[in-house]
C-alpha cells in the first residue's frame, strides 16, 4: 500500500499521527555524509530533535563546517562503526553505491558497531540491488533499514521541503523512519518494499534529465531566434512547457536568480551525479527489459557532459552550455 504523508500539512500517516516535535522515542541520532545535501538535512534534523547528535564524514572539513553551523553541540565520531555504537538512528547521504557499501560493510563500517534495534535510513541514490543487499545485512544484524532517496535538490534540503521516497520491509519501519524524515522534508512516501524508494528515485531522475535537456534546447533555440531568455522563460513557465527545469532551475544564467546557473552552476546537483543516476537507470532498464529511447539518449548526453573536467562538478543545468557550445561549433 502506498502511504503518503505531508509532514506538516498532512500530519496523519497510516492512521497514526506524525510528530515533527522535538521529542522522539529514539535515542542518539547519527548522520554520515555532510555534503551538499547532507549538510542542510542534518542541520534540520539536529535543530528539530533533542537527542544527542553525532556526525561522521570522510572529509574533516565537512565535519568542521557542520559543527560550526550547528546550533548546539555536535559530537564527531572517528568512524561509522564508532558512530553506530552510540546511535539508535543513523542517516546516510553518500554519493554512490561504493560509498554506501564502504560506510556500512567496510572496515570500521556501521555493521561493526551497530546496536540491536537501531534504524538505518539511507538517503543516497544508489543501485537498487546494492541498496537491498546492504539493508538485508543491517536487518540480519538485528536492526532495521529503509531506503529513502530524496528529491528537491539543494534548495529543497535548505528549506526542508524534500520528498523522500521510502522502501521498507514493514509499515512499522516506515512510520519510525517518517518521524525523522518529516523534519527534513515535506513529503514522505512509502513506495513499497526494500529498494522501492530507489526504483522511484531513478524514474524521477530520468524524467528530470530529459526535461533539463529539453529546457536547455528550447531556451537555446529561442535565444538563437532572437528571443530574450527572461521573456521566453516567462512564456514557458505560464504555458504547457513548464517544468521544474524551466521554472525553478532554469539552465540559462540570469533567468532565475536563485538557480545554480545564475551562480556559475555552483551549489546544485552535480552533472557527474546525474550521469551516475542515468547509469543506474540504464542497468535497471536492462535488468527489467524495458525499452528506453529518451532515457538512453539522456544517459549518453550526460556521460559526455560528465567527461568534461570543467563541467563534471557543476550543476547538471550546465548541459545548456554543453549544447549551446556544440551548436555554436556546428552552426
Q: Mind telling me the catalytic residues?
A: 201
Query: How far, CA to CA in Å, does 327 sit from each of 198, 323, 324?
Result: 35, 6, 5
Largest CA distance in the chain: 64
Nine-digit cell at 202? 531513478
What interhelical angle do 128-140 and 196-224 show, nearest 10?
150
Sequence-ordered list of residues with C-beta below 8 angstroms from that of 48, at least 6 positions apart, any chain: 20, 22, 183
Q: Taking CB under 6 A as the rule, does residue 57 contact ligand NAD?
A: yes
Between 34 and 138, CB nearer to ligand NAD = 34
What is the pairing mode between strands 53-56 and 89-92? unpaired
Q: Taking CB under 6 A as the rule, does residue 38 contact ligand NAD?
A: yes
Of 150, 191, 210, 282, which lies in the binding site for ligand NAD, with binding defined by CB under 6 A? 150
Q: Taking CB under 6 A as the rule, does residue 189 contact ligand NAD?
A: no
Between 123 and 144, CB nearer to ligand NAD = 123
Of 124, 168, 314, 321, which lies in the binding site for ligand NAD, with binding defined by CB under 6 A? 124
- Which range in 64-72, 98-106, 129-137, 294-302 contacts ligand NAD by CB under 6 A? 98-106
Residues 254-293 that bind ligand NAD (CB under 6 A): 268-269, 273
Q: Taking CB under 6 A as the rule, does residue 51 contact ligand NAD?
A: no
Q: What is the CA radius of gyration of the chain?
A: 20
In which region does residue 264 sit, left (phi positive, over 0), alpha (psi from -120 to 50) or beta (all else)?
left
Q: Taking CB under 6 A as the rule, does residue 34 contact ligand NAD?
A: yes
**Cβ atoms within 10 A of the Cβ of 183, count?**
22
Q: How far is the CB of 239 from ligand NAD (least distance, A)?
A: 26
Q: How far is the CB of 207 from ligand NAD (least distance, A)?
A: 14
The number of residues in the chain equals 331
- Which range in 57-65, 214-222, 225-233, 294-302 contacts ligand NAD by CB under 6 A? 57-65
Q: Which residue is nearest to ligand NAD (CB)?
A: 35
Helix (H) or strand (E) holding 138: helix 128-140
Nine-digit cell at 39? 549538510
- The residues of the shown chain that bind ligand NAD, judged by CB under 6 A, are 32-38, 56-59, 62, 93-95, 99, 102-103, 124-125, 150-151, 153-154, 268-269, 273
Amino acid at each position: 500500500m502506498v502511504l503518503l504523508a505531508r509532514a506538516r500539512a498532512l500530519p496523519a500517516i497510516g492512521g497514526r499521527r506524525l510528530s515533527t516535535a522535538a521529542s522522539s522515542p529514539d535515542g542518539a541520532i547519527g548522520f554520515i555524509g555532510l555534503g551538499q545535501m547532507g549538510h542542510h538535512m542534518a542541520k534540520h534534523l539536529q535543530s528539530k530533535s533533542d537527542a544527542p547528535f553525532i556526525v561522521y564524514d570522510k572529509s574533516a572539513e565537512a565535519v568542521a563546517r557542520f559543527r560550526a553551523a550547528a546550533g548546539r553541540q555536535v559530537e564527531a565520531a572517528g568512524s561509522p562503526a564508532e558512530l553506530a555504537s552510540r546511535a539508535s538512528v543513523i542517516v546516510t547521504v553518500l554519493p554512490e553505491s561504493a560509498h554506501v557499501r564502504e560506510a556500512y560493510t567496510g572496515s570500521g563500517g556501521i555493521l561493526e558497531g551497530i546496536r540491536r534495534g537501531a534504524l538505518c535510513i539511507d538517503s543516497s541514490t544508489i543501485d537498487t540491488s546494492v541498496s537491498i543487499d546492504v539493508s538485508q545485512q543491517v536487518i540480519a544484524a538485528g536492526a532495521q533499514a529503509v531506503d529513502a532517496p530524496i528529491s528537491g535538490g539543494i534548495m529543497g534540503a535548505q528549506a526542508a521541503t524534500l520528498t523522500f521516497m521510502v522502501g521498507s520491509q514493514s509499515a512499522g519501519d516506515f512510520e519510525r523512519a517518517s518521524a525523522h524524515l518529516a523534519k527534513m522534508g515535506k513529503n514522505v512516501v512509502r513506495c513499497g518494499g526494500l529498494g522501492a524508494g530507489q526504483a522511484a528515485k531513478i524514474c524521477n531522475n530520468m524524467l528530470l534529465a530529459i526535461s533539463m535537456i529539453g529546457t536547455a534546447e528550447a531556451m537555446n533555440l529561442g535565444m538563437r531566434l532572437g528571443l530574450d531568455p527572461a521573456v521566453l522563460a516567462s512564456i514557458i513557465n505560464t504555458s504547457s512547457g513548464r517544468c521544474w527545469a524551466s521554472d525553478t532551475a532554469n539552465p540559462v544564467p540570469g533567468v532565475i536568480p536563485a538557480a545554480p546557473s545564475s551562480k556559475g552552476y555552483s551549489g546544485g546537483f552535480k552533472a557527474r551525479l546525474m550521469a551516475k543516476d542515468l547509469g543506474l537507470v540504464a542497468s535497471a532498464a536492462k535488468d527489467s527489459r524495458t525499452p528506453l529511447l529518451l532515457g538512453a539518449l539522456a544517459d549518453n548526453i550526460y556521460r559526455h557532459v560528465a567527461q568534461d573536467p570543467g563541467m563534471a562538478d557543476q550543476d547538471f543545468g550546465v548541459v545548456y552550455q554543453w549544447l549551446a557550445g556544440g551548436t555554436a561549433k556546428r552552426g
